[in-house]
């Protein structure tokens, strides 16, 4: 059941919020891209509603999460609120090198995105979380679709395009199947839970899932600088992607270079804002567990966390 909350609550609460009176922001809309996982959509609305409370106009556009870095660089969208190192570090760095976008600093959150299993899987494959132990258990994960190979359910293709490369680089007996949506991953875990069936899927933290299903990330050869770019490095001297994703990854904010001059006040807020792991997990939970619409989840989050964000508007 969807819960509907008046989006006027936060705006009314904010009318009194003071902010610096220097150069005015443009009345053109600040364009915020949204992607296909809940925390990013809710966070985008949280920040969008903060900007609106300051008198800015805001528009949201649903955007491919890899291609967005090119869009920010060109100013077609104004910023990006969740640059996850594991999934988007490469795309972000490529756009950074071309110019037009810049790093607006890290969130407090520490991130990890990788192959993951609910804890009951370990009962069937006790050598976990080691990746070689997982590989020896590959037959446990075999399905009609994957033949005698294990099935790994990856995220939608725009998140990470390199699970298949990793399987090849590490010589694993797995086939990568990409989920059509994040919801398909949660459905797979929930279905497996009924019979405690072993499954291995893509997952990440911070996320609502960690509060619902205790689990662990698979430990692959540790991430190192150059793993994704330089084949000669790492355990396989002939292939890239012979490593896991960073276990302590960053979560960055990025902006179009022109934002600073066009919307100086909103830009100032963007430089200050920073969310923690529990705050981001809560944003996802409001949608994925409580089934709110993202706009309403953002309004509620702002209502419940005034002490967190109001100081950023000073």
Q: Contact residues for ligand TMO (CB under 6 A)?
A: 37, 84, 87, 113, 155, 159, 204
Between residues 77 and 125, which has the closer beta carbon with respect to ligand TMO? Answer: 77
Sign, Cα dihedral of 130, 158, 204, 209: negative
CB 273 within 8 A of CB 11: no
Shortest distance in whole angstroms from residue 28 CB to ligand TMO: 29
Task: Scan for tokens 């190979």, then name that residue.
Answer: 149
Residues paired with residue 106 on neighbouring β-strands, in sequence order:
252
CB 38 within 8 A of CB 282: no
Shortest distance in whole angstroms from residue 207 CB to ligand TMO: 7
Write the CB contacts of 194 (distance below 8 Å, at least 6 apart in sequence).
Answer: none
**Element housing 135 (H / E):** helix 131-136
Between residues 35 and 149, which has the closer beta carbon with respect to ligand TMO? Answer: 35
Between residues 113 and 295, which has the closer beta carbon with respect to ligand TMO? Answer: 113
Between residues 84 and 241, which has the closer beta carbon with respect to ligand TMO? Answer: 84
- Give the C-alpha separation, 251 to 247, whole Å: 12
Shortest distance in whole angstroms from residue 92 CB to ligand TMO: 12
Residue 268 tokens read as: 């100032």
Residue 95 tokens read as: 């756009």
Between residues 155 and 215, which has the closer beta carbon with respect to ligand TMO? Answer: 155
How far is the CA of 72 from the CAs of 8, 67, 170, in angstroms? 29, 9, 34
Shortest distance in whole angstroms from residue 281 CB to ligand TMO: 12
Between residues 78 and 205, which has the closer beta carbon with respect to ligand TMO? Answer: 205
Shortest distance in whole angstroms from residue 38 CB to ligand TMO: 9
Shortest distance in whole angstroms from residue 204 CB to ligand TMO: 4
Between residues 84 and 115, which has the closer beta carbon with respect to ligand TMO? Answer: 84
Shortest distance in whole angstroms from residue 84 CB to ligand TMO: 4
Between residues 204 and 208, which has the closer beta carbon with respect to ligand TMO? Answer: 204
Residues paired with residue 255 on neighbouring β-strands, in sequence order:
79, 102
- Give the C-alpha separation, 261 to 241, whole Å: 39
Nearest CA to 38 among 180, 201, 208? Answer: 208
Shortest distance in whole angstroms from residue 241 CB to ligand TMO: 16
Residues in the chain, overall count: 314
Nearest CA to 81 among 49, 120, 129? Answer: 49
For residue 207, the SS3 value is: coil
Task: Scan for tokens 């949608």, then name that residue.
Answer: 287
């Amino acid at each position: 059941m969807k819960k509907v909350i008046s989006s006027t609550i936060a705006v009314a609460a904010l009318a009194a919020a003071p902010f610096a009176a220097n150069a005015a922001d443009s009345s053109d809309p600040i364009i915020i891209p949204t992607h296909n996982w809940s925390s990013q959509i809710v966070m985008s609305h949280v920040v969008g509603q903060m900007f609106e409370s300051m008198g800015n106009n805001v528009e949201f556009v649903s955007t491919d999460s890899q291609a967005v870095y090119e869009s920010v660089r060109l100013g077609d969208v104004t910023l990006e609120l969740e640059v996850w190192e594991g999934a988007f570090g490469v795309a972000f760095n490529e756009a950074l090198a071309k110019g037009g976008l810049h790093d607006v600093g890290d969130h407090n959150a520490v991130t990890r995105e990788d192959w993951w299993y609910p804890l009951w899987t370990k009962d069937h494959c006790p050598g976990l979380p080691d990746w070689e132990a997982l590989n020896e258990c590959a037959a446990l994960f075999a399905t009609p679709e994957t033949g005698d190979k294990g099935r790994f359910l990856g995220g939608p293709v725009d998140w990470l395009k390199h699970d298949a490369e990793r399987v090849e680089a590490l010589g694993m007996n797995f086939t990568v199947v990409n989920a059509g949506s994040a919801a398909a991953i949660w459905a797979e875990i929930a279905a497996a839970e009924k019979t405690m069936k072993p499954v291995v899927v893509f997952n990440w933290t911070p996320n609502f899932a960690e509060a619902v299903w205790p689990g662990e990330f698979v430990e692959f050869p540790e991430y190192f600088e150059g793993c994704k770019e330089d084949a000669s490095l790492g355990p396989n001297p002939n292939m890239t992607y012979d490593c896991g994703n960073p276990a302590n990854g960053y979560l960055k904010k990025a902006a179009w270079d022109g934002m600073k001059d066009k919307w100086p006040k909103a830009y100032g807020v963007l430089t200050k804002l920073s969310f923690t792991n529990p705050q981001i997990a809560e944003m996802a939970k409001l949608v994925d567990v409580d089934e709110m619409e993202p706009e309403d989840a953002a309004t509620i989050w702002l209502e419940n966390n005034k002490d967190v964000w109001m100081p950023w508007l000073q």
